[in-house]
């Protein structure tokens, strides 16, 4: 497991290095491999190569979640932009707590960041299995309270295959 994770990390670092540099001469490729190895060794020493520091286990779930999240962000952008251009400024700001059903802190962080990423809702505080949220309008509050985002983030955690 540890060897597998180290190999996967080295491969990911290598891909990142090639994409950033775009150099393919042997000398520079060797430098790249060297810096990947150095980074890997440092990360091992810092003991950050775990499920939280490098959450490979949720990669497939994240890939299914991100398109849905982007669509929600686009929709929320449109709603808030329309609100700002409306002369009467029909906002109804309010604070509320929503339950966060994720099992890990990583899942909580993904949920809270998703809330903040969608304009109209901002995560204020995360504790005791709940998130304190500031919502701009009743409709953004209701959308959050429907719990769909919470369920989808929890599905990422439980190992992916989370579309639908």
164: tokens are 């639908």
Longest dimension (CA), the chain: 64
Q: Does 85 bind another protein (CB under 8 A)?
A: yes
Give the integer Cα–Cα distance in Å for 14 and 33: 7
Which residue in the set 120, 141, 149, 157 belongs to the binding site for another protein (CB under 8 A)?
A: 120
Give the CA dihedral 126, 130, 131, 134, nearest 10 degrees. -140
Of 30 and 66, CB closest to another protein = 66
Of 47 and 85, CB closest to another protein = 85
Report the candidate in 58, 59, 157, 39 with the shortest Cα–Cα distance to residue 102: 157
Of 41 and 124, CB closest to another protein = 124
Q: Does 158 bind another protein (CB under 8 A)?
A: no
The residue behind tokens 């709940």 is 130
Which residue in the set 112, 144, 153, 156 belongs to the binding site for another protein (CB under 8 A)?
A: 112
Q: Does 144 bind another protein (CB under 8 A)?
A: no
94-99 and 130-135: which strand pairing?
A: antiparallel
Q: Which positions from 19 through 78 interact with another protein, judged by CB under 8 A?
A: 19-20, 22, 73-74, 77
Residues that bind another protein (CB under 8 A): 19-20, 22, 73-74, 77, 80-81, 84-85, 89, 91-95, 112-114, 116-125, 132, 134, 136
């Amino acid at each position: 497991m540890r060897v597998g994770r180290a190999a996967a990390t080295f491969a990911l670092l290598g891909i990142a290095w090639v994409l950033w540099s775009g150099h393919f001469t042997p000398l520079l490729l060797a430098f790249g491999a060297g810096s990947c190895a150095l980074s890997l060794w440092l990360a091992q020493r810092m003991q950050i190569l775990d499920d939280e520091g490098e959450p490979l286990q949720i990669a497939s779930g994240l890939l299914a979640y991100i398109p849905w999240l982007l669509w929600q962000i686009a929709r929320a952008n449109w709603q808030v932009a329309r609100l700002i251009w409306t002369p009467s400024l029909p906002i109804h700001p309010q604070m509320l707590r929503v339950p966060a059903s994720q099992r890990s802190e990583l899942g909580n962080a993904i949920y809270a960041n998703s809330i903040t990423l969608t304009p109209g809702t901002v995560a204020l505080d995360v504790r005791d299995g709940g998130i304190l949220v500031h919502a701009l309008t009743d409709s953004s509050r209701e959308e959050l309270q429907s719990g769909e985002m919470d369920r989808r983030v929890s599905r990422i955690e439980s190992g992916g295959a989370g579309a639908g």
